[in-house]
Structure 1
Amino acid sequence: MSNTWFESIAEAQRRAKKRLPRSVYSALIAGSEKGLTLNDNLAAFDELRYAPRTAGHAAERALGTHVLGRDIALPVLISPTGVQAVHPDGEVAVARAAAARGTSMGLSSFGSKPIEEVVAANPNTYFQVYWTGSREDILRRLERARTAGAVGIILTLDWSFSHSRDWGSPHIPERLSFRELLRFAPEGATHPRWLLDYVKTRRLPDLSVPNMAQPGEPAPTFFGAYGQWMQTPPPSWEDVRWLRAQWDGPFLLKGVIRVDEARRAVDAGVSAISVSNHGGNNLDGTPATIRALPAIADAVGDQVEVLLDGGIRRGSDVVKALALGARAVLIGRAYLWGLAAGGQAGVENVLDVLRNGIDSTLLALGKRSVHELSRNDLVVPQGFGVELGDQAVAS
């Protein structure tokens, strides 16, 4: 076994922290304000326990499932995240890793690689959309995604109403000017392996977002695109219905945390929802997504596919989410740490860690398939779950 292999997501995180300049690593940790939601996303999984079986275990376990119109080899998808400057290959390396492990890729509209390159690396790519600019702007981005071959879209609505951090936010320049390079030089000098990766490519980390470019214009910077998003009025549920009508394939709405809004999403015609608080990067004090999952799955799980993101660090976490009603999960920080630690191979390693953890947990529970999981496989403490929102809301 290669000495570059790591056996846990925690080890991937340690290697990422060691390899990356402090400001880059801090951007991966993120979280808002006091970090209550960020921490609860992790702590809530630890409150759940298992009810394992002693004998009669299955010799082989089936981990594959069907999500958003695609068969995938394990119930873990790549969640879209913004500019992935932790590695020169960025989203393309992640897409290749996901394809190699038989799962789907989510590409952020604020990603650092063009959608055409990412779809070429993984045909099972979903394009993520923020409600940014006019409807005409959004339609142009959808048409580009459709032409590139995206198999579905992800509308993200759970970001970002709160951004300040008690532990301080890293300095991220709008452009890597000569002045910014001088400012960044001490960090780069103390992390030479990360800097060398870029030296080999003969280019600097690119903070532009090509998938937000207007026709015939250069790609805006991340902060330029972010500024446009901030100036765009937030969408209504009618806007969600309108956007759904513009796309005839799989449509995932990311950011649902309330039961009443899960029902509204069903009324809007979405294919799936992701129970999400944007990894703790939104309103701090929101409960962990795994706490909100059971009530939402009970309410709409027979009408749309229910996914979950937030706090996944182990294959056993994935199993807990599935047992509480999720069809699959999306991961964010975990694969970014793998990308920082080892590029494409590091992301493949992360997916392997999760696969092995799912398989070993199924074995201990006496399950032949991820589809056999239920709440009877867990010990759920009293008061664990939360049901947010009004019980009855008109569409």
Structure 2
Amino acid sequence: MNPWFETVAEAQRRAKKRLPSSVYGALVAGSERGLTIEDNIGAFSEIGFAPHVAGHKPARDLSTSVMGLPLSFPVMISPTGVQAVHPDGEVAVSRAAANRGITMGLSSFASKPVEEVVEANPNTLFQMYWTGTRDAMIQRMDRARKAGAKGLIATLDWSFSNGRDWGSPSIPEKLDLKTMVNFAPNVLPHPAWLLAYLKRRELPDLTAPNLQPPGGVAPTFFGAYYEWMQTPPPTWDDVAWLREEWGGPFMLKGVTRVDDALRAVDAGVTAISVSNHGGNNLDTTPATIRMLPSVAEAVGSQVEVVLDGGVRRGGDVAKAVALGARAVMIGRAYLWGLAANGQAGVENVLDILRGGLDSAVLGTGHASVHELGPDDLVIPAGFTRTLGAGSSSTGGAGGAAGAQAVVATASAAAPARTAAKTTRTRTVKPLAKAEAEKK
């Protein structure tokens, strides 16, 4: 089989074939009925392009920057744990990102140490959850800073939703002889995945080395998850404290509401990520692309806004940028590439996204990605969702009054092409059909 693939969908098909079902199921994830993960992807297809027929620019500049770091095109690697996907894990992803000129986001739950990942890509952002004691968090930040991480991502968009209608994958806490015997029926049908590890004379490492305390041992993934669940949720004062302790570029990930965006500005963040944790948070939360315009309108002039969730094509990147995102972050898309063909597979995915973005910028008649705007899109009536505009907020753009003004502005600015507006009733596909299409 030709290792090259032409779409992210094909990368996902190959990943499903190569990975044990428990590993693949962990990557698909989602929560409850899976409606948010479905909407994250499907909402992009509701937006159309309004291309020009002539006057296209012979060269296009796709470059931008986020948090002071250059990007050859507006895509960033979202932090995810890639335990058991590929022996090279996040190091392979980091090398691919460096080769394509983009920023790497490294999860504190990752399978590879921050030192190795930063060595592979100096433009790395270290990600942390609010987990453990403040002293433990300071130690983790100090380690990441010493390793050379250029910024910090604080992820707060997970409420530990339980259960999936299609069932959660069975994942062991550690690999020993008994576990290997029990999982043999799951692993043996996927010899290519198994051989990749056996050639290294190793088994998947299910620990979180970036959470290892000084002089201690790295916790298992589930041990780290348990600590996270037992840590009291952070306040906005805690967010400000974390930002101050880091003392450098700081992104708050998980913002979906206007009032939260305004509070994030008050807390002094550098950037915010409009994210619903890839559909792994509260199910029925709207797609991030639906919530992006109001958040970008509220705070885009004060902090950088990126979008995370549902990006599978370069056209999706263009749509997000046109609606106010500085860049997008991708998760599952590069994981499919990693599973399909290691570092080369991640590079393949990034090339697909770049090519699709360039086509969109070309077709809409622009010379730069920064020229994209709502006029380049056909947006159906009622597409956007504005959350938290009626709630009180401190400071920022003027609290509740500022949020209400944002709604009026966003509503006026959104679907610019009135002739192309359509009235659409959104229907939810039956879960079985949605799952079949997703997989």
Short-chain TM bin: over 0.9
- How many angstroms does 1:303 deviate by? 0.3
Aligned to 1:377: 376
Separation in 2 of the partners of 1:160 and 1:354? 30
Q: With the length of structure 1 as denominator, give the TM-score of the two structures.
A: 0.99
SS in 2 for 1:254: strand
The aligned runs of 1:107-122 (5 Å cut-off) are 107-122=106-121
> Partner amino acid for 2:204?
P
Aligned to 1:192: 191
Aligned to 1:129: 128
Q: Report the more deviating stretch, 155-164 or 365-374.
A: 155-164
Separation in 2 of the partners of 1:135 and 1:317? 38
> Partner amino acid for 2:20?
P
**Does structure 2 retain, via aligned residues, the 8 Å contact 1:83–1:209?**
no
Aligned to 1:183: 182
SS in 2 for 1:201: coil
Separation in 1 of the partners of 2:19 and 2:57? 42
Separation in 2 of the partners of 1:114 and 1:247? 19
**Does structure 1 retain, via aligned residues, the 8 Å contact 2:83–2:204?**
no
- How many angstroms does 1:188 deviate by? 1.5
> Partner amino acid for 1:283?
L
Aligned to 1:22: 21
The aligned runs of 1:129-148 (5 Å cut-off) are 129-148=128-147
- How many angstroms does 1:186 deviate by? 1.4
Separation in 1 of the partners of 2:274 and 2:340? 28
- How many angstroms does 1:149 deviate by? 0.2
Structure 1 residue 310 and structure 2 residue 333: aligned? no
Aligned to 1:236: 235
> Partner amino acid for 2:12?
Q
Separation in 2 of the partners of 1:236 and 1:78? 27
The aligned runs of 1:267-278 (5 Å cut-off) are 267-278=266-277
Separation in 1 of the partners of 2:284 and 2:269? 27
Aligned to 1:102: 101
Aligned to 1:393: 393
> Partner amino acid for 1:394?
T
- How many angstroms does 1:84 deviate by? 3.1
Separation in 1 of the partners of 2:48 and 2:92? 35
- How many angstroms does 1:163 deviate by? 2.9
SS in 2 for 1:62: coil
Separation in 2 of the partners of 1:160 and 1:196? 37
- How many angstroms does 1:3 deviate by? 2.0
SS in 2 for 1:313: coil
Separation in 2 of the partners of 1:138 and 1:214? 10
The aligned runs of 1:209-358 (5 Å cut-off) are 209-358=208-357
Q: Deviations over 1:337-363 (max 9, x none)?
A: 000000000000000000000001111
Aligned to 1:71: 70
Separation in 2 of the partners of 1:248 and 1:100? 28
Separation in 1 of the partners of 2:130 and 2:228? 7
Aligned to 2:422: none
- How many angstroms does 1:161 deviate by? 2.8
SS in 1 for 2:33: coil
SS in 1 for 2:97: helix
Q: Deviations over 1:90-121 (max 9, x none)?
A: 00000000000000000000000000000000
**Does structure 2 retain, via aligned residues, the 8 Å contact 1:65–1:73?**
yes
SS in 2 for 1:238: helix
> Partner amino acid for 1:334?
A
> Partner amino acid for 2:155?
T
Q: Deviations over 1:18-56 (max 9, x none)?
A: 101111111110000000101010111011011100100
Separation in 2 of the partners of 1:101 and 1:274? 22
Count of aligned pairs: 394
SS in 2 for 1:155: strand
SS in 1 for 2:356: helix
Separation in 1 of the partners of 2:389 and 2:78? 29
Q: With the length of structure 2 as denominator, give the TM-score of the two structures.
A: 0.89
Separation in 1 of the partners of 2:314 and 2:182? 40
- Show structure 1 runs of 4+ deviating over 6 A: none
> Partner amino acid for 1:180?
T
Q: Report the more deviating stretch, 83-92 or 137-146.
A: 83-92
> Partner amino acid for 2:116?
E
**Does structure 2 retain, via aligned residues, the 8 Å contact 1:41–1:290?**
yes
Separation in 1 of the partners of 2:178 and 2:228? 27
**Does structure 1 retain, via aligned residues, the 8 Å contact 2:83–2:205?**
no
- How many angstroms does 1:201 deviate by? 0.6
> Partner amino acid for 1:24?
V
- How many angstroms does 1:66 deviate by? 1.1
**Does structure 2 retain, via aligned residues, the 8 Å contact 1:88–1:205?**
yes
Aligned to 2:409: none
Separation in 2 of the partners of 1:57 and 1:253? 37
**Does structure 2 retain, via aligned residues, the 8 Å contact 1:307–1:328?**
yes
SS in 2 for 1:172: coil
Separation in 1 of the partners of 2:123 and 2:28? 27
The aligned runs of 1:52-67 (5 Å cut-off) are 52-67=51-66
- How many angstroms does 1:179 deviate by? 1.3
SS in 1 for 2:70: strand
The aligned runs of 1:32-43 (5 Å cut-off) are 32-43=31-42
SS in 2 for 1:269: coil
RCO comparison, higher one (Cα < 8 Å, 6+): 1
**Does structure 2 retain, via aligned residues, the 8 Å contact 1:210–1:220?**
yes
Separation in 2 of the partners of 1:234 and 1:338? 34
SS in 1 for 2:14: helix
Separation in 2 of the partners of 1:219 and 1:394? 40
Q: Deviations over 1:172-211 (max 9, x none)?
A: 0101121110111112210000000000010100000000
Separation in 1 of the partners of 2:78 and 2:266? 24
Q: Deviations over 1:353-382 (max 9, x none)?
A: 000000011111111111000000001111
Structure 1 residue 12 and structure 2 residue 11: aligned? yes
**Does structure 1 retain, via aligned residues, the 8 Å contact 2:82–2:335?**
no
- How many angstroms does 1:9 deviate by? 0.2
Unmatched tracts of structure 2, length 5 or more? 396-439
Separation in 2 of the partners of 1:151 and 1:103? 13
**Does structure 1 retain, via aligned residues, the 8 Å contact 2:262–2:394?**
no
